[in-house]
Amino acid sequence: MSKEIAILEETETEYLLKISYEQRDRAKAISGRRWDEKRKCWVYPRTARIYDALIGEFGEDLVSCKITRPTITNEKDIVESLRAENQNLRDQMAKMDELIESLTKAKQTSQSSTESEIQTLKLAFSTLEKELKVSRDRLIDAEKEKSSLKQQVYEIKQETNRIIKDNAPKDFNNYLKELVKNATGGDRDFCAIVDKIGFSKSAPIEITKHLESALRNLLAIKDRNIKLHELIAKGRDSEILNDEAIQLAHLIRRHRNILAHEEVDQRTNSARIILVLFAAALLWPLLPE
């Protein structure tokens, strides 16, 4: 492999850097690295910081770059990313501590070490101590970065909540009522009904009563024993109601009956009320004058 080239690849959790032996110091300068003897490459945690460091160091030398920058979208992702990197650094420090301990024991127990071997051990100690200090410093920086990012996420959440609160309708019921009236195209009769009943638990029942009354007037039916589903059927047969009006009328009837007679999840009540109001808003302009 040429001295001037570098290859970057990635797995789900790692970046893989392949460079010449002469460039090893550049690879070591980026924290979190480890040498993978089996894959013959330098391995790094797949984090946004490592991505920036690798591109910054090797960008001009890359002949192949098959890596992407992780996108961190929430606090959990930030914490997990930093935790993974911190664990990687801790693992490296643990290995260094083990090596230092083994070298210390070897130095203490060896009676036949030559001066050259002693110097080699001293050099190894010195190098390991420097790398250990760098790793510890990186770990401290990562912890500070995590704390800073968590604070930023908290501030963003606070600002988002403030914006939502500032822009929320002051009176939701009146806001919803105006939306329903606008949806009907300003139909005078329906707007009068909505102004009277508003957004309440009884709204589906009141809407159904007004619908029954409107259909009886259109069909000239005075018999109060005829139910809504029969009125809808007669409206269809007499071609007073088109297909869309029939579907909307049955929707209103069905959800009114659910709210009045069935045991339903209370959390769905508001949604059913809104559904009935908007269905009525779409239906009323379809009724003949």
90-94, 132-136, 140-144, 205-209: range with highest mean pLDDT = 205-209
Residue pair 75/153 in contact (Cβ under 8 Å)? The answer is yes
pLDDT at 95 over 50: yes
The DSSP letter of residue 236 is H
What would the mean pLDDT of 186-197 be, rounded to a whole number?
Answer: 83
pLDDT (tens digit, 9 = 90+) per residue, 162-191? 766 666 555 677 788 788 888 888 778 888
Residue type, 200: S
Coil, helix or strand at residue 178? helix
The CATH number for 6-65, chosen from 1.10.357, 3.40.1170, 2.60.420, 2.60.34, is 3.40.1170
Mean pLDDT, the chain, whole residue set: 79
Residue 205, pLDDT > 70, answer yes
Q: Report how far apart the first and last C-alpha atoms of the chain are (Å, whole number).
A: 85
CA angle 145, 148, 154 (to 5 degrees): 140
pLDDT at 262: 67
Sign of CA dihedral 112, 116, 117, 123: positive
Report d(CA 203, CA 211) in Å as an integer.
12
| Whole-number pLDDT of residue 14 | 92
Segments making up each domain of the chain, as ranges:
6-65, 75-165, 172-286
pTM score over 0.95: no
Residues 89 and 32 sit within 8 Å (Cβ to Cβ):
yes
Q: Averaging pLDDT over each range in 32-36, 85-89, 113-117, 119-123, which range is the top one? A: 32-36
Q: If you average pLDDT over each of 127-141, 176-190, 243-257, which comes out highest?
A: 243-257
Contact between 212 and 228 under an 8 Å Cβ cutoff? The reply is: yes
What are the DSSP calls for 182-229, one per residue?
HHTTS-HHHHHHHHHH-SSTTHHHHHHHHHHHHHHHHHT---TTS-HH
